[in-house]
Amino acid sequence: GAVVSQHPSWVICKSGTSVKIECRSLDFQATTMFWYRQFPKQSLMLMATSNEGSKATYEQGVEKDKFLINHASLTLSTLTVTSAHPEDSSFYICSARTTGAGSYEQYFGPGTRLTVT
Amino acid sequence: KQEVTQIPAALSVPEGENLVLNCSFTDSAIYNLQWFRQDPGKGLTSLLLIQSSQREQTSGRLNASLDKSSGRSTLYIAASQPGDSATYLCAVNGLSNFGNEKLTFGTGTRLTIIP
């Protein structure tokens, strides 16, 4: 089946620093990748949608200058949290969709837990 | 704006019982609906995906139904086991305001199976 990986699985950083999270589709090409955020005891909220080779589309309320998304290839998207603050501490999950028409099924990565101290 | 609600928020049942989890959504213009399982501190495991043209899907002890016109889906778990304990998320795939597809997640049902 389609596998999506994330790196790192967890990261602790100091307030004011930047953190990069990678999302890779391991055995398929993904023209579209999605980034979600999940706060404790809450559900997943879509942050942005990224298409390979073009700018990401951000959901309302998500600062694009703070959460930089790059989708430079069909197998890799990165999310950079710039000038992180404690309120950015969360569980970040990416998903990827295969190319071509069909089921629109998204395959999810295992998530990255970010703690900002 | 699509809104997805899951009831109940938490459920505890003895091992061996059959149970039903409910999901409702407000906008019936969807591509598909998916049920996921999430263990504490972990990512998502996809359980079942129902296309908008389908009425139900089955996988092992799990059966999911979809009634698009009424905006409802149910996840039926037969002969529950302690290993089924997790949070179950329902997600609806439709169009966002930008014309992209968008998965909207429900609030989840935390299931505990009592041995």
CA distances in angstroms from A68 to A22, A36, A54, listed in the order given: 12, 13, 13
| B100 at A interface, C-beta within 8 A | yes
- Chosen from B1, B6, B103 to mutate, greatest number of chain A CBs within 10 A: B103
Distance from CA of B103 to the nearest CA of A (A): 7
Contacts of B107 in chain A (CB under 8 A): 42-43
Task: Report helix, strand or coil for B37.
Answer: strand
CA distances in angstroms from B60 to A53, B14, B88, listed in the order given: 40, 20, 16
pLDDT, tens only, B18-76:
999 999 999 999 999 999 999 988 889 999 999 999 999 999 999 999 999 999 999 99
- How many CB atoms are located within 10 Å of the residue B101 CB? 18
Question: Which of B100, B105, B108 is opposite residue A49, by nearest beta carbon?
Answer: B100
* pLDDT score at A104: 67
* pLDDT score at A99: 61
Q: Which residues contact A15 (CB under 8 A, 6 or more apart)?
A: A84, A85, A86, A116, A117
For residues B67 and B24, give the distance between their C-alpha atoms in angstroms, rounded to a whole number. Answer: 10
Q: How many CB pairs under 8 A join A and B?
A: 57
Residue A29 scores a pLDDT above 80: yes
Higher pLDDT among residues A53 and A93, named by residue: A93
* pLDDT score at A94: 96
Contacts of A104 in chain B (CB under 8 A): 31-32, 93, 101
A104, B93: Cβ pair inside 8 Å? Answer: yes
B51, A103: Cβ pair inside 8 Å? Answer: yes
**Which residues are A59's β-sheet partners?**
none
Contacts of A46 in chain B (CB under 8 A): 102-104
Structure-block tokens of residue A31: 């023209």
pLDDT, tens only, A59-108:
999 999 999 999 888 899 999 999 999 999 999 999 998 765 555 678 89
Contacts of B34 in chain A (CB under 8 A): 105-106
Of all residues in chain A, the one with the smallest CA distance to B91 is A44
Closest by CA position to A74, among listed A94, A92, A97: A97
For residues A96 and A114, give the distance between their C-alpha atoms in angstroms, rounded to a whole number. Answer: 20
- Chosen from B23, B25, B44 to mutate, greatest number of chain A CBs within 10 A: B44
Structure-block tokens of residue B28: 């019936």
* pLDDT score at A33: 93
